[in-house]
Amino acid sequence: MRIARIAAATAATLALLTPTAAHAAPQLQAPGDTVTLPVRQALAELPVRDEDRTGYERDKFKHWIDADRDGCNTRAEVLLEEAVIPPERTGRCTLTGGRWYSPYDDRYIDGPRGLDIDHLVPLAEAWDSGASSWSPAEREAYANDLGDDRALIAVSAASNRSKADQDPSTWLPPAEGYRCQYVTDWVADKTRWGLSIDAVESASLAQGLGQCPDVMVTVTRAR
């Protein structure tokens, strides 16, 4: 459950931990390949390239879709998965009531209207980092990624709009206890989608992770 993972990870940031062993991992070769490795190693394996936003339009990432045709689109699926108190679902997929925890700013939100579904690595950042060369189907899959619970997260609308399309070099969650989880998940999500990082982003991630446990991350490659 996502909330349990968030709580456990937040607690873990209160002390630096040393993994019992370093595990070498082969480079991912194809979609569906899975690797487990220390997050600092995962960061070191990300390609470092200049970013380019030429041609970016948010509409090039189709969302929110109803992939399984159950009446609930991606936004609703995330809300249902992450609710602390489940909302009432009526009609095709109208959600009312319920309660959610927003880890970015360490607060609870009652009702779905005060929430945004954040793309951990924003769509514009993904475009800058390699998605500009993807097919429309690949960008749609990225924008609606329910295959890894780090990719999409329900947070307060205020925190999501404060973040906008920034990377960790210019924005980190206001809740300091969540920052290690945030940068760890950022590296995992970029690894999953084969995205690059720029030099400033790389330095900021390395500095941030230097203050965090070098936890093992497991990533299944999406492309």
**How many structural domains comprise the chain?**
1
pLDDT for the residue numbered 2: 53
User: pLDDT per residue over 179-210, tens digit each?
Assistant: 999 999 999 999 999 999 999 999 999 999 99
pLDDT for the residue numbered 29: 65
User: pLDDT at residue 25 above 50?
Assistant: no
In the chain, DSSP finds a helix count (H) and a strand count (E) of 8, 8
pLDDT for the residue numbered 171: 98
Confidence band (pLDDT; 50, 70, 90) for 15? very low
User: pLDDT per residue over 157-171, tens digit each?
Assistant: 999 999 999 999 999
Q: Determine phi and psi for 155, rounding to 5 degrees.
A: -140, 170
Which amino acid belongs to residue 190? Answer: K
User: pLDDT at residue 12 above 90?
Assistant: no
Among 16-20, 33-37, 113-117, 144-148, whose mean pLDDT is lowest?
16-20
pLDDT for the residue numbered 122: 98
User: pLDDT per residue over 119-138, tens digit each?
Assistant: 999 999 999 999 999 999 99
pLDDT for the residue numbered 22: 38
Angle at alpha carbon of residue 119, lines to 24 and 5, rounded to 5°: 60
Find, among 77, 97, 72, the residue nearest to 87 by Cα.
Answer: 97
The set of residues, in sequence order, having a beta carbon less than 8 Å from that of 21 and lying 6+ positions away, is none
Which residues span the domain enclosing 181?
2-220
